[in-house]
Chains A and B, each alone.
Chain A
């Protein structure tokens, strides 16, 4: 198993035959798709597509469990925001009243549109994080010629996150070994005791920073001056080859995006009015009302 930014992927996953740039490109472009799609069924299709890619890449779908509470809380908030907190809108079609507040069809419809826009955006991010390692991100950034300093800061940040997480576990185990147990305690209590993690975590990080600085100085790295002008070999790039298939994947992503833009603005499709799901839901809700 190889550790990715968000989990583990088997060593023989087909995703490793894809160039890291393609994965970054997928994130950057596919995240834009839902912004131009209003019909929820198309966004659900996109979600299923991303999940199929995750299965094909042998990413454990258990990773998604972490996002279920986020998806639920976000759904509730969007629904409340558009319905109970949506205000009085006499121009809209009222379908019912809840707790003395009018619920309008247009607001409910917009809540569904927004929700099904956000979820595929999150899924595309999860797909990227689940299938990419720190090294992939560096390779992708170097492939598109992002300056060395920027790439290096990103790389150090990702490396530091892993180290801090490790330190966090050490601090937590040390607290537990001293008999600290926050199980079943109230949230204000846990928040107060959170300081017990923060102070050692910062102190450990300060020590790590010194080690980091010394290592960088010893290797002759510098962000300014003579040291920064030295041309450095992109050793890691020599391990990756942008193949014909990678070019094909990139082209497919571009063509899909172009197709969405043409469908939306050329043929007025993928809109709310064009949605089979929303029209079906409207007929049910209005007949019930």
Chain B
């Protein structure tokens, strides 16, 4: 289901605010990618790594470029969830430190995603010049972090109390 939501929400973001080649000024899919693994552990990470492949395809990103984005998407999904589990944060965001750790996870993972996607993937495919790379690095990074700040906290705060009561909630990584 998470892949399904990511597919729809990610494609919406990709079509609405495109910078090019699957990079967006405001990518709403990041919400599913980062909140999903916090709730559903490794299953969420798998979904977070896979769904952009589908949403990018719909939004007009070439097949092999989408495929090469997978490591960036996997890290973006994994890191906030890892920080959350490592520092025993509460998905209901009860303490200020929960907000702090989530923000740090969002920033570091998005920075990695931005660097990988532009400097490895887009430069590797010869789609960008060295001079225009910073625009795409900032586009990816800003597009993810801003959307994350707008939605991640609200979603965790609003839905975590419900999610942790369902059988789908994964406290560790697999169960």
The answer to whether B132 touches A74, judged by C-beta atoms less than 8 angstroms apart, is: no
The answer to whether B151 touches A195, judged by C-beta atoms less than 8 angstroms apart, is: yes
Knowing A125-B60, A164-B8, A165-B8, the reply to whether A191 touches B26 (Cβ < 8 A) is: yes
The answer to whether A122 touches B1, judged by C-beta atoms less than 8 angstroms apart, is: no
The answer to whether A82 touches B129, judged by C-beta atoms less than 8 angstroms apart, is: yes
- In the assembled complex, which residues on chain B have CB atoms less than 8 Å from the CB atom of A157? 3-4, 7, 47, 50-51, 54
Chain B interface extent, by class: 35 or more
Instruction: Tell me how many residues of A have a C-beta within 8 Å of chain B.
Output: 59
B104 at the interface (CB under 8 A from A): no
The answer to whether B126 touches A67, judged by C-beta atoms less than 8 angstroms apart, is: no
- In the assembled complex, which residues on chain A have CB atoms less than 8 Å from the CB atom of B31? 198
A262 at the interface (CB under 8 A from B): no
CB distance from B25 to the nearest CB of A (A): 10
The answer to whether A124 touches B63, judged by C-beta atoms less than 8 angstroms apart, is: yes
Contact residues of A between 191 and 229, Cβ < 8 Å to B: 191-192, 194-195, 198-199, 201-203, 205-206, 208-210, 212-213
Which residue of A121, A126, A161, A210 is within 8 Å of B4 (Cβ)? A161
The answer to whether B155 touches A78, judged by C-beta atoms less than 8 angstroms apart, is: no
Knowing A77-B20, A194-B28, A203-B162, the reply to whether A86 touches B131 (Cβ < 8 A) is: yes
The answer to whether A191 touches B150, judged by C-beta atoms less than 8 angstroms apart, is: yes
Docked complex Cα distance between A129 and B54 (Å): 10
The answer to whether A206 touches B166, judged by C-beta atoms less than 8 angstroms apart, is: yes
**Of all chain B residues, which has the CB nearest A202?**
B159
**Of all chain B residues, which has the CB nearest A113?**
B126
The answer to whether A122 touches B151, judged by C-beta atoms less than 8 angstroms apart, is: no
A26-34, A138-146, A251-259 - interface stretch: A26-34
Docked complex Cα distance between A147 and B33 (Å): 25
The answer to whether B3 touches A160, judged by C-beta atoms less than 8 angstroms apart, is: yes
Docked complex Cα distance between A161 and B162 (Å): 22
* B residues apposed to A, CB below 8 Å: 1-5, 7-9, 15, 18-21, 26, 28, 31, 46-47, 50-51, 54, 57-65, 125-132, 135, 150-151, 154-155, 158-159, 162-163, 166-168
